[in-house]
Amino acid sequence: MNTASGLPPGQVPAGHRPFGLPRFGPVVPRPRGTASVTVTGAVRHPGQVSAAELAALPGRTDRVADLHCVTTWSALGLSWSGVPFRDVHAYLTDLVAVRQAVRWVTFTGLDGFSATLRLDDALAPDVLLADALDGASLGPDQGAPLRLVAPAHYGYKSVKHVCQIEYRTAYAAGPAGWKAHPRGRVAHEERSRYLPGRVWRPLWRALLPRSRAAYESARARTNGRGRP
Ligand SMILES: Nc1nc2c(c(=O)[nH]1)N[C@H]1C(S)=C(S)[C@@H](COP(=O)(O)O)O[C@H]1N2
Ligand SMILES: [Mo]
């Protein structure tokens, strides 16, 4: 941690949310009807569960956490509510019979974005499958109906609009490609698969206004109604 600011290395506080990869800016998924999550991959019985069923599992909790985007901005003190992923996983382990060899888990959002976390990282007690922020149900901009909250990892691991959980035996890079790190731990500055994080810091910092503008103009152009 950067002791002066209380922020992890290379991060600056920012108020401008939501803000993710420009490629996914044009789409704001608005789930209709009963939202469900497909559970698939290295499991014996792939299936679907409703988002409501997952959100009602025992273990429900509130957590205050910071969100650290790899492009160096951080949103501080977000109050999430949801079910720890470890409790969701315990439930799914029986339901779909997750195979012993599973080491990674991929979360996919309704906009097509996805990220893979190491299973033991996803099972840390601070990782939530959240359905509320600041005491209100998640809205379309915040990742409705369910979003992952993995506070020890860069924001690209905190997948919004979760509609699929895929158990895997090997890492899958996903849409962020080499720009994402397989683990993405903020404390270790694992910003990217290649080169140490402190090398990326000034590059992302310099690109920040441009990537933010690209995201916002993509969103304004489609009013969030674009196709994934
Ligand atoms: N489905 C989906 N989840 C996503 C993204 C996205 O584009 N689509 N962007 C990721 C990135 S890079 C960041 S930093 C955070 C941003 O979260 P916010 O939009 O709540 O600020 O969401 C992450 N989860
Ligand atoms: Mo990000």
pLDDT in tens, 201-221: 999 888 888 888 888 887 777
Find the 80 Cα to ligand 2 centroid distance in Å. 18
**Does residue 135 contact residue 129 with C-beta atoms inside 8 Å?**
no
Residue nearest to atom 16 of ligand 1 (CA): 20
Whether 97 maps to a domain, the answer reads yes
- Any domain includes 24: no
| Residue 167 domain-assigned (yes or no) | yes
For residue 5, being part of any structural domain is answered with no
Pocket mutation for ligand 1, best pick of 67, 154, 158 (most atoms within 8 Å of C-beta): 158
Residue 70 has pLDDT above 80, yes or no: yes
Q: What is the number of domains present in the chain? A: 1
Mean pLDDT of 32-61: 95
The mean pLDDT of the chain is 90
Task: List Cβ<8 Å contacts ≥24 apart for 209-213.
Answer: 211/22, 211/71, 212/16, 212/19, 212/71
pLDDT for the residue numbered 167 = 98
Going by pLDDT thresholds of 50, 70 and 90, the confidence category of residue 30 is confident
Q: Is residue 226 part of a domain?
A: no
pLDDT higher than threshold 60 for residue 1: no
pLDDT tens-digit map of 168-177? 999 999 888 8
Q: Is residue 26 part of a domain?
A: no
φ, ψ (nearest 5 deg) of residue 26: -70, -15
Rg (CA), the chain: 17
**What's the CATH code of the domain at 213?**
3.90.420.10
Q: How far apart are CA 208 and CA 143, in angstroms?
A: 22
pLDDT at site 86 = 98
Domain holding 86, by residue range, is 12-16+32-220
